[in-house]
Amino acid sequence: MTKKSKPKIESQLERETFKLKANKGGGILSFEVWGYVQDGKTIVTRYNLAYINPLICQKDNGRVLGFDNAHDYHHKHYMGKVAPVEFESYEQTLEQFQEEWQHIVKGLKKVKK
């Protein structure tokens, strides 16, 4: 007898927005993640990570930096331009996003001094 697996039901796993104080670079960080849990493991199916600050970038609705997999491919938004990216895992993409937005903000703080 074979065991039937339950159908995978995608749901939103995370939706968070953080406002950065002006002395931290200003802007908004947005995290949206969808997926499902299978055998105790979280499987991410869709994601949208963004650093939004219209004072830095007036294009792309103020999105300075973003990573997502909309439109059936993994890609990066940077200052109004979009380019495909190599996808390893959601965790690696999240780590890259965190490093890059923090690098951008550090550069802003140096310019303001």
- 113 residues of the chain, pLDDT tens digit each: 556 666 688 999 999 999 999 888 899 999 999 999 988 899 999 999 999 999 999 999 999 999 999 999 999 999 999 999 999 999 999 999 999 999 999 987 666 55
Single pTM value for the model: 0.87
Q: Is 17 exposed, middle or buried (0-12, 13-18, 19+ CB in 10 A)?
A: exposed
Number of folded domains that form the chain: 1
Q: Is 48 exposed, middle or buried (0-12, 13-18, 19+ CB in 10 A)?
A: middle
Q: What is the pLDDT of residue 107?
A: 86
On whether residue 5 sits in a domain, the answer given is no
Task: Determine the 3-state secondary structure of 47 from DSSP.
Answer: strand
C-alpha 90 chain-centroid distance: 9
Encoding tokens for residue 39?
């055998």
On whether residue 42 sits in a domain, the answer given is yes
Instruction: Residue 31: give the domain boundaries.
Output: 11-108
On whether residue 86 sits in a domain, the answer given is yes
